[in-house]
Structures are given as C-alpha cells and as structure tokens.
Structure 1
Amino acid sequence: MDAPFYIVLNASAGRVEANLRCATIRNVLNAAGRDCELAVVHDAAHLDDTARRMAERAARDGAILVAAGGDGTLNTVAHAAVMYGCVFGVLPQGTFNYFARTHGIPEDLADAVRALLHARVRPVQIGLVNDRIFLVNASVGMYPRLLEEREYDERRYGRSRIVALLSAAKTALRGHRSLRIALELDGRTRHLRTPTLFVGNNRLQMEQVGMRPLDHALDAGRLVAIAPRPVGRLRMLGLLVRGALGRLGAAPDVDAFAFRRMTVRRPLLSGRRRLKVATDGEVCRMALPLRFEALDGRLALLVPDQEEEVAPAGAAAAALPPGPPHGRQAG
C-alpha cells in the first residue's frame, strides 16, 4: 500500500494541458500521502526510452509503473512493464480508452488516480505480433491507413469520437486494394483476400461492434481475427456503419474466428515483404511473416477494487511468466 508511483505522462496535448494533468495527479496522491515521480514526455520519439528507464527504476525500487495517455502510450509503457516485471497502472487520456474501460478504470483523471489507491493486481492477457505487444488490437491493410488518416484529421479538428468516426467513413469511401495473404492456423494453411485483417484483444471493443459470441474467446486465452471480404466502397462504408451500430457479426461480408497463434504470410509470387502494421493505434512496418500470439496473464495490471489491497510489486512480478514476451530487450 505504500509503493510509490512512477508515472510516464504523454504531453502531446500541449504543455498547458500537461501541467494541469501533472497538478491533478500530484494533488490527489499528495492528499493520500503517496509518493510519486512524474516523467513528462513532450516528444513521442522519446517515449519508449523514457518508459524503459522508468520501468527499470520501478523494478529496482518496488514501485508501480503508470502510463498516462492514450492507447498508444499505454502500449509502450505496458511493454516496458512486462519486460521488467513491474506492476502496471493506467491513467487513460485517449479518445476511446478501450483498455481502461474494459478493466473498470475511470476516464476522469482525478478519479483514475484515486482508483490506483484502492486497487488490486490482476494478471491480464496481452497480444503479440512479432516483437510488439498490443493491449487492444493489431491490424494490417486498410485499418493502419485509417488510423493515419484519423491522426491527421484529429490534429486539424481536435480529438473526439465523432471526428474519429467521420474520418473512418472518409477512408472507407476512398477504397483500398485487397491483401492476398496465407494464414497458418493449427497446422493448416488458409488463403484469404481481404482489404484489412484486424486482430482484437479487447472484449469491450468486440462487444461494441457486435462480434458475439467471439468476444468470449478473449476470456479463454485467445485472440479474435476479423477479415472483411473484398467489397465496393459503399458496402465497405456499410460495414463500418454496422460496426458502429454493434451489428458487424451479422454481416454476410465478414469472416471472423478465434485463435491462440497465427502466422500471416504473403503468396510466393508477391513482391512485398513488409507490411504496415498498427498496434494500439501506432503504425510501423514489419517484415513478413507476421506471427500473432495470445499471451495469457503476462501483464500485472492494477484494477479498481474497494475491498482488496494492492499486492506487493515483488509478489506480482513473481506471479508473471519469466522473461519479456519476445524480441525487444532492454537497451
């Protein structure tokens, strides 16, 4: 109960907003008599290094590592938490905040900080694609492009769910070339043609788009793949509308299935050997093949609980499977 909080805060919203958030965090924790250290990141290029440095110190000092920002920030800091075996806390500051909402973490900053004070540790599942983890989703094809367009529109018109949805509709109407990929599942190869392959690791998001009963697969240590069939622009827009209305699972133009491990390859005659991949809203290029995997219980997350106490950081780390997920090592 007396473990300090080492907080990584993404200040992309601006210095004034960042100062207000820092003041809120400090005021709540000081009033509760809890120590904290804030690392404010003004340049996203420094986020990964800052997260690793704070995670290393948190592991050494028995502190709780906390991310304050959107899903992309949470992803980066959570990766460092898994790497160093830290307990992980969340102060959501994004547009949709799927990860935080799934685990009952308040979206209001002051309430989220108070929730850290009355929380317990819950081991939760993360997804992995090659050397990158994802908390909410990962995707290839049209969806990474949609995220890039949304980021551009939100810089112009502000961050809101309405702007995000209108931006997605605009991207759908522009059309997108279909991917031809081969999926290796359970020793079998399945050939697929789709504008986008979306892999979900968040039950709330699956419920909201209407992917029942596959949303329950996430509770059984699996991930959910969604692949629309090649359709025209208006029908693609219709799929987005169905998703917004929670009826995507009933669409005849969508293939969906659950899995624990999956490998994505391109046909032998295809020239491209790298694809854009989005993980929790962050887009990068990855070399093929892409290997997706569900890692059950790998992240020690603080979740609100008024009746149970927070487990000691060392105990939570000991409960985790040994070692980092794969790939990236501490520098």
Structure 2
Amino acid sequence: MTAPGAAEGPAATPGTDAGAAPPAVDGPLIVVMNAASGARDAASVRDRIAQRLTQAGRTHEIELVTKRGTIGRVAADAVRRAVARRGVVVAVGGDGTLNAVAQAALAAGCAFGVLPQGTFNYFGRTHAISQEVDEALDVLLAGRPQPVQVGRIADAHRERVFLVNASLGLYPQLLEDRETYKARFGRRRWVALWSALVTLMREHRQLALRIAWCAGPGEASAPAGAERLLRTPTLFVGNNRLQLEQLGIAQAEALAQGRLVALALKPVGTRAMLGLLLRGALGRLGEAEEVLAVALTGMTVRHAARYGPRRVKVATDGEVAWMQAPLHFGVAPKPLWLIKAAPDAEGARG
C-alpha cells in the first residue's frame, strides 16, 4: 500500500553526482578481510586472492581481521594507507564487513572494491559482483571506480551509512537472533530463514513513532513541519533495488532517482505476520494492505512520547547498534566510488 500524504516535497541532491571526479586508482590494493564472514575457509580464500593479485602484477596488502569489534579500526587504517598511495581499499566478507569498510572509504573519498562472502550478497549482486572469488577478482582487476548511492542514518552524536538497508524494531531483533542461530548451526541460507520464522512466532513490541518525510517529485510528502503518528513492529529503509524487487515493492525503481524506500507494517498478530513473511517470499509483500511503503529523499523519526528513553536499537546492513532519537535518514551527499564493470560489460555478463 502506498503512503498517503499532502504537498509534494523538494528533491534532495543524490549522492551519485555524475560530475564528480573519481579518485585515482593506480596505487596498491589494500585488502581488509573478515575471517569470520561466510562459511568458506579464510586461509584458502586469502591465499587465492594473493595468488591472483600477484599473477596480475598488482601490488597489494592483505589485512586479516580475526578479533570481533576491530573491523572499524582496521578499515580506517586501511583507507588512510590507500588514500596516501592513490590505491583502492577492498572489503572481503559479508554485508557487515562491506558496510564497515565502505563507511571509512566514503568519508575519505577512497575507491572501494568488494569480494563478497556473505549469505545473500545483495550489494554485490546488484552491481554484478559475484560471490565466487575468481569472478569477483576479475571485476576488481578490470573495473573502474563508478559512483554508487549510499544511505545514511544520523543522530546528534554519530552517523552510520548503509549500502543495503537500515531498520528499527523487529528487524534488528531478527538479525540478532539470526546471528545466534548461525553461531550454532552455520552460515547457511536455511539457517537464516528458520531463525526468521522462530523470531516472527514470538510476540512483538510495537514502536510508537512520530515520522516526517520528504518524498521528492511525484510522491506525496508530509507537509513542512508536520509529523505522522505511527505504530509499527518495524521500520525498514531500503537502499538496494534487488532486495526490494524480490519483496515485490513497486517503489524500488525510485532508488535510481536518488531516493530511499521506507517500509512499515501496521500492528498485526503472529498469524498475519507469518502471512506477510510468505508474501515476501513470493515477491508480493507490496500488495499487502498491512504494509506502508513510500519513496523518500529524507525522513526524521522520533519517539511518540515527548519524554522518556531516547535510545533506539538500529540495524545497518546487518550490524546492530544503539542510537539516540531523533534519527535522520537520507542519501549521503557524496557517492561511494565502487570498483565495478562498465554498464555495457555488466549487461554482457547478465
């Protein structure tokens, strides 16, 4: 169901400015590899990467992250070294790893490459980058930096970026439960789907939110200064066309126009929640009356209560953290320079 609204809002400047000059990429490849991502053997993947890059004559360094909680620091140091030497920082891992390295690369304007190793690989698949190491290395070695839109969420103290999605409420809980199940049963798709089913079977707390959004041309926006009261088990903001299309969200095409897509569920019981899960699996979630969907350029989210706790659990690309309301969603003002094949080459592979 499409969101109702009032006056049309102004469009924000997309973070994919075609006129911006891409960074130089004639330096080394600084590879950040998360040894905990994916089900593959980290040592063999690292050795294959080193072998291929050596054969190609590309100077490179590989940083293997083995301790939890250190990926941000390692990524920031890798980006600093890549920028100083006109190189490329490369993330090897799942969506969370790609997010951590992208955050540092975006801030510094550093070229960014990916060798995806995660469960669903939405970011890589969107940009025609395979989970197969050799195929992804082909793109890394032959590709050029191209601007890619990044979403961002900010509070008064910090800012986080997201390549695929950001969310509040039920979805962060689902992600935390999924990691618990993966730790016990392995990083497989059936484990992720089973953990989601178990999470949805439980009773869910409803978020009470005040939301104001700017939708951009062709969409209804909240009037300037107006807020909409919303009760929902989860608020989801998507920045990945492939994921949204797989769910059956018609607004997915708005991402190409420099916007994000927000989804919220009306308060529903467990039975209806399972029905929505089935609709999503069949690619028909957008048809459900219980789903509110809107394409937007910006959105501010507050707790409905004027007083009380302001902390909110937020997930960005599968990584969960606490932030302080109000939260401000939007498109990052500058692009991420992703190493990818030219559009005609992507079409030839597809």
- In the superposition, the TM-score normalised over structure 1's length comes to 0.89
Residue 73 of structure 1 aligns with which residue? 97
Residue 122 of structure 1 aligns with which residue? 146
Map 1:1-331 → 2, pairs under 5 A: 2-13=26-37, 17-130=41-154, 131-186=159-214, 187=224, 188-212=226-250, 214-269=251-306, 271-295=308-332, 298-305=335-342
Letter matched to residue 104 of structure 2: A
Cα distance in 1 for partners of 2:306, 2:325 equals 14
Specify whether residues 207 and 13 from structure 1 end up closer, same or farther in structure 2 by C-alpha distance, changes over 3 A only. closer
**What secondary structure does 1:55 align onto?**
helix
**What secondary structure does 2:332 align onto?**
strand
**How many residue pairs are counted as aligned between the two chains?**
307
Q: State the Cα distance separating 1:21 from its structure 2 match.
A: 1.1
Contact 1:178/1:193 (8 A) holds in 2: yes
Cα distance in 1 for partners of 2:39, 2:145 equals 32
Letter matched to residue 112 of structure 2: F
Contact 1:5/1:64 (8 A) holds in 2: yes
Higher mean C-alpha displacement, 15-24 vs 71-80 = 15-24
Cα distance in 1 for partners of 2:242, 2:129 equals 13
Residue 325 of structure 1 aligns with which residue? none
User: Which consecutive segments of 4 or more residues in structure 1 shift more than 4 A?
Assistant: 13-16
Cα distance in 2 for partners of 1:69, 1:120 equals 21
Specify whether residues 14 and 71 from structure 1 end up closer, same or farther in structure 2 by C-alpha distance, changes over 3 A only. closer
Q: CA offsets per residue over residues 63-87 of structure 1, 9 Å max, x none? A: 1110000000000000110111110
Specify whether residues 245 and 297 from structure 1 end up closer, same or farther in structure 2 by C-alpha distance, changes over 3 A only. farther
Cα distance in 2 for partners of 1:22, 1:228 equals 42
Contact 2:127/2:340 (8 A) holds in 1: yes
Cα distance in 2 for partners of 1:190, 1:21 equals 49
Give the share of equivalent positions with the same residue, in percent. 50
Letter matched to residue 199 of structure 1: V
Q: CA offsets per residue over residues 46-69 of structure 1, 9 Å max, x none? A: 110100001001000001110000
Specify whether residues 13 and 3 from structure 1 end up closer, same or farther in structure 2 by C-alpha distance, changes over 3 A only. same
Letter matched to residue 64 of structure 1: V
Q: Which runs of 5+ in 2 are unaligned?
A: 1-24, 215-223, 346-350
Q: CA offsets per residue over residues 142-188 of structure 1, 9 Å max, x none? A: 00000000000011111111111111111011020111100012423
Q: State the Cα distance separating 1:124 from its structure 2 match.
A: 0.7
Specify whether residues 163 and 295 from structure 1 end up closer, same or farther in structure 2 by C-alpha distance, changes over 3 A only. same
- In the superposition, the TM-score normalised over structure 2's length comes to 0.85
